[in-house]
Amino acid sequence: DPPPPPTIVVTANLAVDFRAPFREGSEAVVRVYHDGTEGRKIYFSAVLESLDGRVVFAEAKSLFVRVRLESVMGKKEKKGVEEDMKKEKQ
């Protein structure tokens, strides 16, 4: 059997709710959660919060979709990405 065509994951939707001001020079933690995968769809959520967890600066939900490389890139770009992918596997 031939190998499956190369794919990449692209952002389909990203929604961010800002909850509190995040001042310059502040420190925070980003927590990212994989909420599930359904076929080609991959769901994540994230929280940006203070180091002690008492302040939530932002919350986000996102949907990523796995697509064939050829559907989002021209031939020249696709060739370069495929070559990079081969190098990474070595």
63: part of which helix (H) or strand (E)?
strand 56-68
DSSP 86: H
Q: What's the confidence (pLDDT) of residue 81?
A: 72
d(CA 63, CA 35): 10
Alpha helices in 17-74 (DSSP H): 69-72
> Could you tell me how many residues make up the chain?
90
Q: Two tokens at 86?
A: 């081969």
pLDDT of 76 reads 65
pLDDT in tens, 2-38: 878 888 899 999 999 999 999 999 999 999 999 999 9
- Band of residue 89 on the pLDDT scale cut at 50, 70, 90: confident
What is the model's pTM?
0.75
Mean pLDDT of all residues belonging to the chain:
90
Element (H, E) at 31: strand 28-38
